[in-house]
Structure 1
């Protein structure tokens, strides 16, 4: 049995005490004095990530995916989706099949298709050559296994509402994103079953006081809003505003990281498009659009706290809420007895000290 002491971040509170781990499971979380200055948080859950450490999820290469997951595990992400970008159907199908053994081994929790069912005018760094209208025929083939966890769709596209409803009926979460939808079209997507807003503000029609658009539609709906807390995609003030408006149960920190994360500045590839990374900011070479991030979840947590979000709320956004999105709240995402021993020991300045996954230090 392992006993880990410090300031323990639990839902809605920070308490001094100890987490007792027995094998892969949390046995008990107990209050106690003189537990130390470390900050103990549940392992981070990243539902939107394209790669890291020089490795990518976007090509369907299983070894690259394994290495990308290992890189982010070192930064405290104990559960994550492998996010593809807009791609031909064949790549989506083959990548999903290639990643199934990694899912079965617990390396990743599933696959997220960020595209190709996206708005051309709001595609951002997505490759426009691969965009197309939602296809239930494609989705039927792709979700034959339990590998697919999340699909981003622009709800204004022909057939989008039917596709969102189809995903919901088959136990796959749908997200509204890369969209030029009106406020009403956004709410229609949520009513059809969309449970997530893909990187709120980014890749969306901007809010207007006479046409609120998808940002306000998502914030005023039950959908969980993804937030990229890298201080590039969102100003810290906007991050804090969105987090306060949504609340910690309806906001999820994500990285949207690409393979350049943790690497030197230079030229990289994302979905067949050249990306230039300078001073840690990734942009498409052809038009300067922001192209994913070089963020890790531990930095996202620190940025959220620096923006004025309380530590307990930031941790809920980094772990508890995204675990619920994936249907894994009964397994991970909080420091509670009976859940998986996925946790991160942080120094008082919230930098990573140690990471435990399923009871094993990594």
Structure 2
């Protein structure tokens, strides 16, 4: 049994005391307290990243053992659970990636984040809003998606709702337990509202690769700001202006953060693969040769610091990296520090620097 002391972020707020855990949290011996009254570390729920393409020089689309490196890279930065995220690609390439994901799910590698399943980002997107996705967009077919799900569990699927047949497809996917996100879309405000009525849950990298907000044409962004409970956002301060982040925080109750990280995360400047694309990491960003942002180099410990720099309290920022993504996914044993939850937790000092990470009770090597 392990014991950590500090300011513990529980579902009911901050408590100061001791947290006892093995693979699971056993008990918390603490009382309500304000961290401002002491100088002890923060004990936060492990971060959950629902949009991870790569890290440590490896890409999900490689298949094979790529996720070993990816999961270890992100675990060193406080991420204890991930969704392996695919790119828009021919069917055979997606299947190769999913076979690698299944291998990683079957056995969590020591020192790595838990791979909870797959975020299928495309290929059912609008070819007019590819962003950094390769040009293999196509209409969604339920049988094909079911086949993908037989290779590895699909937890989240991004699609463009305005494509013919996709509204009805949303209902079919939701009935199978897949969370549908709207993204890489030229859809209108009305398309977004209708898609939510069909069961869409969230929005993929809010503001990026979707129709923007105009006061007479609110677009997909307007649908999210007006109606969404959940949406993911990349808080690297490159993809979205701080002012837009603040607007989304006021409008969307459970806005949560993702990295959309590429193979370049945790690596020096240079060229890396993102699906079929070669991307360049330089000056903290990742871009295609034409300058288009192509995922990020963000890690979620940096995301925490970025959110606090924008004025969020530490507890609010932390929930957007753990509790809210868990709720969006329908997971209740992660993303929170409470008895009988997985012992996924991070220890952060008062300068918001990572001191220790535990995945299911295992201390991750620094």
TM-score by length of 1: 0.94
Residues 1:217 and 2:217 are matched in the alignment: no
Shift of 1:36: 5.6
Residue pair 1:96, 1:148 contacting (<8 A) in 2 also: no
| Alignment correspondent of 2:52 | 49
Q: 208, 214, 225: which is aligned to 2:214?
A: 208
Shift of 1:145: 5.4
Q: SS of the residue aligned with 1:8?
A: strand
| Alignment correspondent of 2:272 | 268
Shift of 1:97: 2.5
| Alignment correspondent of 1:139 | 145
Deviation by residue 1:33-68 (Cα, 9 ceiling, x = unmatched): 89861111000000001011111112223x111110
Shift of 1:222: 3.8
| Alignment correspondent of 2:261 | 257
Structure 2 unaligned segments of length 5 or more: list them. 109-113
Q: SS of the residue aligned with 2:245?
A: helix
Residues 1:108 and 2:111 are matched in the alignment: no
Residues 1:30 and 2:29 are matched in the alignment: yes
Q: SS of the residue aligned with 1:7?
A: strand
Residue pair 2:234, 2:260 contacting (<8 A) in 1 also: yes
Shift of 1:260: 0.4
Counterparts of 1:284 and 1:67, CA distance in 2? 23
| Alignment correspondent of 2:111 | none
| Alignment correspondent of 2:8 | 8
| Alignment correspondent of 1:182 | 188
Moved over 4 A (4+): 32-36
Shift of 1:237: 2.4
Deviation by residue 1:186-241 (Cα, 9 ceiling, x = unmatched): 11111111111000000111100001111120222244110101010112222122
| Alignment correspondent of 1:355 | 357
The 1:284–1:230 alpha-carbon spacing in structure 2 relative to 1, beyond 3 Å, is same
Q: SS of the residue aligned with 1:15?
A: strand
Residue pair 2:61, 2:96 contacting (<8 A) in 1 also: no
Residue pair 2:23, 2:360 contacting (<8 A) in 1 also: yes
| Alignment correspondent of 1:324 | 327
Counterparts of 1:81 and 1:260, CA distance in 2? 17
Residue pair 1:103, 1:147 contacting (<8 A) in 2 also: no
Shift of 1:76: 0.7
Residues 1:306 and 2:309 are matched in the alignment: yes
| Alignment correspondent of 1:80 | 82
Deviation by residue 1:289-342 (Cα, 9 ceiling, x = unmatched): 10000000110111011111221111111000111222212x110111110110
Counterparts of 1:201 and 1:308, CA distance in 2? 20
Residue pair 2:212, 2:222 contacting (<8 A) in 1 also: no
Residue pair 1:6, 1:18 contacting (<8 A) in 2 also: yes
Shift of 1:281: 0.9
Residue pair 2:66, 2:100 contacting (<8 A) in 1 also: no
Structure 1 unaligned segments of length 5 or more: list them. none
Counterparts of 2:229 and 2:163, CA distance in 1? 19
Q: SS of the residue aligned with 2:201?
A: strand
- My pick for the range that moved more, 84-93 or 145-154, is 145-154
* Alignment coverage as a number of residue pairs: 355
TM-score by length of 2: 0.93
Counterparts of 1:269 and 1:101, CA distance in 2? 21
Q: SS of the residue aligned with 2:98?
A: helix
Residue pair 1:323, 1:333 contacting (<8 A) in 2 also: yes
Residue pair 1:53, 1:261 contacting (<8 A) in 2 also: yes
Counterparts of 2:140 and 2:66, CA distance in 1? 28
Deviation by residue 1:233-270 (Cα, 9 ceiling, x = unmatched): 112222122122212xx211100000001111111221
